[in-house]
């Protein structure tokens, strides 16, 4: 059987990390594409030269987005092309620049990889994945956004630290848009199946500490931006997108929080928002429409409104999207 092909559009901090993980995990051949051709080729060559040491076989190459033909026939495309935040910037400040990038990337994918499963990471995520889907014209189930896996991983790590238990035994859910309005769902977060509210009742933590963890989850991206001083998180975002790609490539049918196209689910139409979804060989196969209590619904609606504003801004900037 021929190897799978993974196209990484954007060879910056996340793109390079994705290439490294994909090669180490032997997910398939890797093509790194960037405006900066030297960066894409240099990172591909550097990882290829590491492969005899880590002992895995895959072909790594780099190319310029002047010519998208190297992504031809890709099984998975992961898009990080664009600019990241600088300290003091919100994700939404990136909209104008990254919308133009989504247009060229979407057209490249449409022409050369129309059967790929596409994972968008570029911010502001929920609006960019929506625009990327529009520009590419791919089926909605084959274009998803990565944010919820990352936000939930941050939430899980904070919970594991608080309870002093293995990260493996903590599950957590973050829904909604990938911004300050995201909705970390304590009620659906567990330690080995025990809901977090029960952990509070058993005295393992307090409501105040949980509230602080929820706040820290919401501003988790900003915390890293401040610490790095230049650029944003890349290890955890890359790991999160790889988990989504593996679920698709291996038809694992994992239930992951992803930005997916909603057509009436949760009362939302023609928008991408983070919700739990089954990812398998059919792409985004089935949305899990969990029930929300009144407070959670209010937070979710607030988050959806924020995404709506961003989609409207995209349509205002590029009338072809209206």
Binding-site annotation: residue ranges for NAD(+): 10-15, 34, 98, 121-123
Stretch of residues binding ligand A3D (CB under 6 A), selected from 78-86, 130-138, 157-165, 267-275: 78-86
122 binds ligand A3D, rule: CB under 6 A = yes
31 binds ligand A3D, rule: CB under 6 A = no
* Binding annotation: 10-15, 34, 85, 91, 98, 121-123, 154
Stretch of residues binding ligand A3D (CB under 6 A), selected from 31-39, 153-161, 200-208, 289-297: 31-39
- Please identify, using beta-carbon distances, which residue of 147 and 311 lies nearer to ligand A3D: 147
Q: What tokens does 298 get?
A: 């209010």
Q: Which of 20, 59, 140, 178 is catalytic?
A: 178
**Residue 248 near residue 259 (C-beta atoms within 8 A):** no
Q: What tokens does 148 get?
A: 């919820």
Alpha-carbon span 101 to 121, nearest angstrom: 12
257 binds ligand A3D, rule: CB under 6 A = no
Stretch of residues binding ligand A3D (CB under 6 A), selected from 45-53, 75-83, 130-138, 271-279: 75-83
Query: Residue from 23, 39, 116, 156 that binds ligand A3D (CB under 6 A)?
Result: 39
Query: Which ranges of 79-233 does DSSP label H, i.e. alpha helix?
Result: 95-112, 125-136, 148-163, 196-201, 207-218, 220-228
Alpha-carbon span 39 to 242, nearest angstrom: 21
- Which residues on adjacent β-strands are paired with residue 257? 276
φ/ψ (deg, to 5) at 136: -85, -30
* Binding annotation for substrate: 85, 91, 123, 154
Stretch of residues binding ligand A3D (CB under 6 A), selected from 9-17, 157-165, 263-271, 274-282: 9-17
Token match 């405006």: residue?
35
109 binds ligand A3D, rule: CB under 6 A = no
83-89 LR contacts (CB < 8 Å, sep 24+): 84/12, 84/13, 84/123, 84/231, 84/232, 85/123, 85/221, 85/225, 85/232, 86/225, 86/230, 86/231, 87/225, 87/226, 87/229, 89/225
- Please identify, using beta-carbon distances, which residue of 61 and 297 lies nearer to ligand A3D: 61
Reported as type and span, the H/E element at residue 60 is strand 60-64
126 binds ligand A3D, rule: CB under 6 A = no
Does 59 participate in catalysis according to the annotation? no
Using CB under 6 A, list all residues that contact ligand A3D: 9-15, 34-36, 39, 65, 80-85, 94, 98, 101, 104, 121-123, 125, 146-147, 150, 178, 231-234, 237
Q: Which residues are tagged catalytic?
A: 178
């Amino acid at each position: 059987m021929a190897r799978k092909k993974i196209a990484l559009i954007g060879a910056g901090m996340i793109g390079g990390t994705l290439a490294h993980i994909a090669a180490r995990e032997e997910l398939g051949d890797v093509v790194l594409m960037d405006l900066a051709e030297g960066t894409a080729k240099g990172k591909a060559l550097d990882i290829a030269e590491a492969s005899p040491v880590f002992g895995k076989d895959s072909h790594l190459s780099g190319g310029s987005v002047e010519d998208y033909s190297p992504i031809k026939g890709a099984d998975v495309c992961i898009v990080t092309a664009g600019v990241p935040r600088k300290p003091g910037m919100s994700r939404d400040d990136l909209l104008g620049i990254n919308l133009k990038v989504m247009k060229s990337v979407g057209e490249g994918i449409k022409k050369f990889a129309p059967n790929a499963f596409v994972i968008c990471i570029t911010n502001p995520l929920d609006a960019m994945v929506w625009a990327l889907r529009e520009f590419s014209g791919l089926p909605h189930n084959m274009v998803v956004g990565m944010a919820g896996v990352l936000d939930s991983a941050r939430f899980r790590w904070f919970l594991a630290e608080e309870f002093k238990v293995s990260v493996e035994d903590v599950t957590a859910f973050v829904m909604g848009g990938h911004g300050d309005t995201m909705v970390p769902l304590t009620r659906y977060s567990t330690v080995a199946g025990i809901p977090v509210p029960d952990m509070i009742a058993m005295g393992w933590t307090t409501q105040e500490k949980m509230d602080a963890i929820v706040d820290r989850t919401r501003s988790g991206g900003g915390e890293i931006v401040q610490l790095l001083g230049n650029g944003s998180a890349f290890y955890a975002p890359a790991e999160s997108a790889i988990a989504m790609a593996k679920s698709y490539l291996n038809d694992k049918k994992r239930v992951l929080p992803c930005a997916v196209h909603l057509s009436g689910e949760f009362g939302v139409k023609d928008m991408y928002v983070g919700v739990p979804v089954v990812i398998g060989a059919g792409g985004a196969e089935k949305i899990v429409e969990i029930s929300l209590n009144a407070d959670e619904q209010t937070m979710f609606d607030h988050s959806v409104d924020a995404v709506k504003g961003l989609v409207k801004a995209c349509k205002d900037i590029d009338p072809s999207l209206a």
